[in-house]
Homo-oligomer: A and B are copies of this chain.
Amino acid sequence: MAGETEIRELTVELGERSYPIRIGTGLLERAGSLFEECGFPKKSPILLVADESVVGLYAGKLERSLKDAGYSVATAVVPSGEQSKSLAQFNDLITEALEAGLDRRSTVVALGGGVVGDLAGFVAAAYMRGVRFVQVPTTILAHDSSVGGKVAVNHKLAKNIIGAFHQPEFVLYDLNTLKSLPPREIRSGFAEVVKHGLIWDAEFTSWCDRNSDKLLALDDEALGHALYEGCRVKSIVVSRDERENDLRAILNLGHTIGHALEAVGSYNQLLHGEAISIGMVGAARLAAKFGYGEELASETERLLRKFELPVRIPAGYDTDAIMSAMQHDKKFTEGAMVFVVPKRIGEVEIRGDVQAAWVRDIVEQLKGETG
């Protein structure tokens, strides 16, 4: 068993739906006792939904821990990739849940990245109108998606359009599971870490800048700190605005353009972090339109490049297709074009007066310039 480092813990404050996030090493092995402590009934089967890329590595360990504690566990494996966030895959998991005999006191556990978390979370939200949910993220990116209770699947016309707010009972973040990530996934994950700095915390942004090498090398201490800080920013924002009435929208920095790029690439060309990396550069370029410093765009770009993230739209992406995908994005309320725009490092604002022509220009720029 790997050596154990400090366990960091923070609470997402949501009244009676508050829940803890635990970050550290060796947590998979303790899952069973945690389920017991939380009073999950042993008669009610657990459905473990695992991403196929991690099932061989970690599902056995997690299952064993739960079974040793006296739980019955059915494991469902879902293919890696955004394509699994479909109603068809959702329906298959409902079938598995029924066949495993899950009842209203059962728990659905997500083992994997954001795709599995969103998908299994929507299963937990909708199965029998809602059962318990536990997140066991195995990617860096999932430090974002595993906090805040947003769960969803995609529709062919728009991402995350079918979903719910369904908070987990807790989040178990075992740093050991991150060691198996492919380098491209690691870099993609840091896009959301950087985002949390950019929207809320200039000091943390600067710390990321100074520690990019350690982070890319997955140094346990640096990684634990970065994930803790990322989750902390996310949880503060979510605590203040659970259902995205206002503040929570700042978490969408880079996501308006980013989601459109993912859609145009059929969700299989750009990773989520890569898409929002490009989107954050686009949003930073909008800042100048509102009189904020022009250096914001270059600073944002420099930081993202340190994490070896893309900052230009790949060749062959059609501008009209990108603009059209944005029209279906749910961040447009009442047809107005809404964007999260940086004011300075560590602070953003939500602007409802962004002209489509500006966005089109920036999309063209980001396509034309060589990255």
Residues of chain A at the chain B interface (Cβ within 8 Å): 41, 43-44, 87, 90-91, 94-95, 98-99, 101, 103-105, 125-130, 150, 152, 155-158, 161-165, 243-244, 328, 330, 332-335
Contact = CB atoms under 8 A, between A and B. Distances in A.
B165 A129 contact: yes
Contact of A126 (B94, B163, B333): B163
22 contacts: A43-B335, A44-B333, A44-B334, A87-B90, A87-B91, A91-B155, A94-B155, A95-B155, A95-B156, A98-B157, A98-B328, A101-B335, A103-B332, A103-B334, A104-B333, A105-B334, A126-B126, A127-B161, A128-B163, A128-B330, A129-B163, A129-B243
Contact of A129 (B94, B127, B150): B150
A92 to B, nearest CB: 11
A125 B334 contact: no
A22 to B, nearest CB: 26
Contacts of A164: 125-126, 129-130, 164
A99 B44 CA distance: 41
A243 B166 CA distance: 14
Nearest to A162: B126
B158 A98 contact: yes
Given A128-B161, A163-B126, A164-B130, A330 B91 contact: no
A148 to B, nearest CB: 11
A333 B87 contact: no
A157 B92 CA distance: 11
Contacts of A43: 334-335
A103 B155 contact: no
Specify which of A95, A98, A157, A335 lies most central, judged by the most chain B CB atoms within 10 Å of its CB: A98
A98 B130 contact: no
A164 B332 CA distance: 25
A41 B104 CA distance: 37
Contacts of A44: 333-334
A41 B98 contact: no
A44 B335 CA distance: 8
Contacts of A98: 155, 157-158, 161, 328
Contacts of A334: 41, 43-44, 103, 105
Contacts of A90: 87
Contacts of A330: 103-104, 128
A125 B162 CA distance: 9
Contacts of A87: 87, 90-91
Contacts of A41: 334
A335 B105 CA distance: 11
Nearest to A151: B129
A109 to B, nearest CB: 18
A165 B126 CA distance: 9
A267 to B, nearest CB: 16
Contact of A333 (B99, B103, B163, B328): B103
A129 B152 contact: yes
Given A95-B157, A155-B98, A335 B129 contact: no
A326 to B, nearest CB: 13
A165 B95 CA distance: 21
A152 B129 CA distance: 8
Given A98-B161, A130-B165, 18 more contacts: A43-B335, A44-B333, A87-B87, A87-B91, A94-B155, A94-B161, A98-B158, A103-B333, A103-B335, A105-B334, A126-B163, A127-B161, A128-B161, A129-B150, A129-B163, A129-B164, A129-B165, A164-B164
